[in-house]
Amino acid sequence: RGKETWADGSSYDGFYGNGQKNGKGKFIWPDKTTYEGVFKDNLLEGEGVYTWIDGRKYTGAWVQNMMHGHGVFEFADGRKYNGNFVNDVREGRGIMSWPDGKSYDGTWRNGKMHGRGILTLPDGNT
């Protein structure tokens, strides 16, 4: 386990293996964006939480620095997506909910609602 700080203000506190970030750790970028979770060979790889300074947050699976697999993405405006990601994009099954009570439960393709799904309006109508 070790700690490292760079001249630009970024820092890492966590485990190392073979001279690289490997295992659980926390990385903080100069703008205070953070990732806390699993690293493999210096990459975000496994389960982790990425928090942007603008209020966005992703909790879930990472593969080679990309959201990939199941995760929950919370937007700064109150929207929330709970579902599958492929290479940083909503893909497959997922549920998007809006602060006004609207929700979409269905399939996604290239980050957009696609195919079968149920759109529920704030008044409960589908």
Q: What angle do CA 32, 39, 81 make, to 5 degrees?
A: 65
pLDDT in tens, 12-51: 999 999 999 999 999 999 999 999 999 999 999 999 999 9
* 89 pLDDT tier (thresholds 50, 70, 90): very high
* 58 pLDDT tier (thresholds 50, 70, 90): very high
Q: How far apart are CA 93 and CA 79, in angstroms?
A: 17
Nearest to 70, CA basis, from 80, 78, 79, 60: 60
